[in-house]
């Protein structure tokens, strides 16, 4: 459980713990990917129905986390007969610049 550092109004760096609660019915897709240059760096991307994308990394057990999230989403979709986009093992290079990231 790591905190992110942000600048406070007086200029000091402050550690802030954060959560991104997303209801299962708001999740449109789930991608599993890794950095091609460092395969140990795995990323999980969640796309929402309102076209937001969230990237997560630093899991204690990445495979187990992805598996359980995928199962929860699929179970919810089966109840409502909705579509879900899931992509597995899509290696790509990821560069992170400040708050914005992009895929090369």
pLDDT tens, per residue, the chain with 104 residues: 567 888 889 989 988 877 778 888 888 888 888 888 888 888 899 999 899 998 888 888 888 988 998 888 888 877 765 554 554 444 444 443 333 333 32
- Identify whether the C-beta of residue 59 lies closer than 8 Å to the C-beta of residue 35: no
Alpha carbon of residue 50 to chain centroid: 15
Which residue, 92, 104, 8, 97, is CA-closest to 43? 92
The pTM for the full model equals: 0.58
- What angle is formed at CA 82 by the lines to CA 76 and CA 87, rounded to 5 degrees? 85
Q: Is 74 exposed, middle or buried (0-12, 13-18, 19+ CB in 10 A)?
A: middle
Unique residue bearing structure tokens 């000091």: 12
Looking at CATH, the fold of the domain delimited by 20-103 is given as PH-domain like (2.30.29)
């Amino acid at each position: 459980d790591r905190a992110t550092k942000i600048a406070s109004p007086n200029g000091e760096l402050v550690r802030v713990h954060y959560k991104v609660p997303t209801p299962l019915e708001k999740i449109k897709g789930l991608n599993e990917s890794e950095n091609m240059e460092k395969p140990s760096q795995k990323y999980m991307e969640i796309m929402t129905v309102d076209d937001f994308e969230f990237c997560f990394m630093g899991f204690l057990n990445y495979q187990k986390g992805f598996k359980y999230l995928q199962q929860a989403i699929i179970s919810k979709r089966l109840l409502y007969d909705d579509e879900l986009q899931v992509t597995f093992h899509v290696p790509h290079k990821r560069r992170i610049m400040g708050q914005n990231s992009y895929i090369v």
